Structure 1
Amino acid sequence: MELKRSLVTALLLLASFAAEASCMVLTLQQQGTRLLLQSDADSNKTSPERSAKDISKDFRQIYTALEETQEWDGKFDARLQRLSQELYGPLLPAMRKASCIVFSIEPRFMHFALDLLPIDGSPLFVQKAVAFSLGKPRADTSSLTPKSRGLIVRDLDTDPEDGANEVRKLYPNSILHNAKNVGAKLFVEANYDFLLISAHGFVTPALGSDLADPDDSIRLGKGEINADALAKAKFKLLYLDSCQLGMSKPFIDAASRSGARHYLAPIISNESGHSSTLTIRYFFGDLNKGKTPMEALFHARKRLYQDFQSKASRTDQIFYAYPFRLYIL
């Protein structure tokens, strides 16, 4: 029986490697005053006529609209469609065929909601498994199994429906802490397969700058922690259910130094409970069944998008389904 389980685990890891290794990688960079988006698989590329500055301004306006949950209107849709045509253009045939897509970007482009742009009338994030990378993405075989150990920290304010405990039940070797009882000491030399924190996040998004704010933080009961708190920790995957932590380069860098291959967090201020609880439930539920992080997040966001198709306004539908971003480190 043990041999059979080992074989199944090996096959799941191989599938994970194959899935991520076969993704279409699109590299976004600036050359002079213009942007260049290029596929790693062939010579296809796009270089919009408009300046990088103008396109970045459009994405800042989109980011602000998402962060402030501004009502979507025709002008908002037109801006998304225009950016899709400008950036994707001749890349579209290959993108339609790709099983998954990884955007390799510079930190100054972290506010670019590239997976929100529409293709054939629907946002990219509900059509393809998508991830981001701050540099050349590395395919790997890391994946969670039911035996994986997690360090889980829950703030009752941000996780009122106890999604954290659902994850603990999926991974019974994990340890669950109440956020009000812990501080930075909890992470000193911590060594777990994954870290899940649901707590308030405080980030100053760079929005077009390569400069990162070292004061980005997560609030715990015994004080706020910044990225340095993870300096000596070791994790394979980090899932931070904390506002805007998907825009924090210091925390992403700290995750990479911890040995993690995957980092997930919302790029905007996400909901406490409700959609965030569902995202936790769907994501970790799929991981527990052998899905890769890319597949699990894709299925979670697509399911949320479909769940709220007829139950919420389009503005709320995106607010519920879109916020979380996956970085491959």
Structure 2
Amino acid sequence: MKKQLILATCAAMLTLVGCQETEVSKGTGLTQPELQAASHLPPPANFSDVSSPAGRVALAPTKYITQVFEYSPAPGQFINKLPVYAAGNNAAAMAAKAATALVGKTNGLVCLGAFGGYIVVGFDHTIANVTGKDFKVYGNAFADWSEAGIVMVSRDVNGNGLPDDVWYELAGSEYSNVNTIHNYSITYTKPSPLNADVPWTDNQGNSGVVKRNSFHTQASYYPQWQGNTITFTGTRVWPNAYDSDPSATEHWVAPAYAWGYTDNVVNTDTNATFDISWAVNASGTPVTLTGIDFVKVYTATIQDAGWLGEVSTEIAGIEDINIP
């Protein structure tokens, strides 16, 4: 116990005043390896080494994404392109590429593909649930073209820094719509050949394909680092895209849902922001969260929009709007 106390004391002395090894070793009773270990104990997570008389200083939190934990898209016309897949890439490599596109910014772009495709991200601080809106999720929607994504949140209750606690859906305007399907599940199958349409079946007895088009000619629309099938389960909102002029050249529009979805309105719209107080549990019961540490976004619908291809959510970044 005495040696452990001395180790802790040495670490504190080194951290605070930058002692030389010979200055702290006198009379400690520590062996040289123990002293060396004490001098390399990591600093607290919210401190950074700086070359100044002040020593270590606290880092201000960043308002943007700092980590991508998982990137698991459904098939789509931008899959294997945003981000780019290279032969041999696995799930970790693709998550790292998604991180390159999104960390520290709001002008990146990552595609989630058709229904269920998702991304899980984290921050260097807890986003507080304050009065009013709490954070913004950036997409690339524009007037009359919504590719809505559902937003889920989680708190790091067990304190391990990983998104392995309970997830809560932020219930948007369509959550209680009679046409919304909760616990909707869809399975996509790797096509053969790889450059064919991607077949899918769902738990409602439906089937279809994610169609290829002439504008995107990559080797496959199926995420090539995945296995032979991928299944996603979540809330499916009613498809909102339609051909507004079927008598002439196709003119597809997808009006925005009222509120509560990402990639649903332009980023300057107030409805691109989210309130943690919208959170509900798996039974649809509202829950009270003082803050959140992780965000998950997934594509909310399954629909083909003619020559425009499948409806697929894109994410460009996330911002804690209450940090100056």
What interval of TM-score do these two structures reach, taking the shorter chain for normalisation? under 0.3
Higher Rg of the two aligned structures: 2
Which one has a larger percent strand, Structure 1 or Structure 2? 2
**Which structure's residues are more often helix, by fraction?**
1
Where relative contact order (Cα < 8 A, 6+ residues apart) is larger, the structure is: 2
What is the TM-score of this pair, normalised by structure 1?
A: 0.25
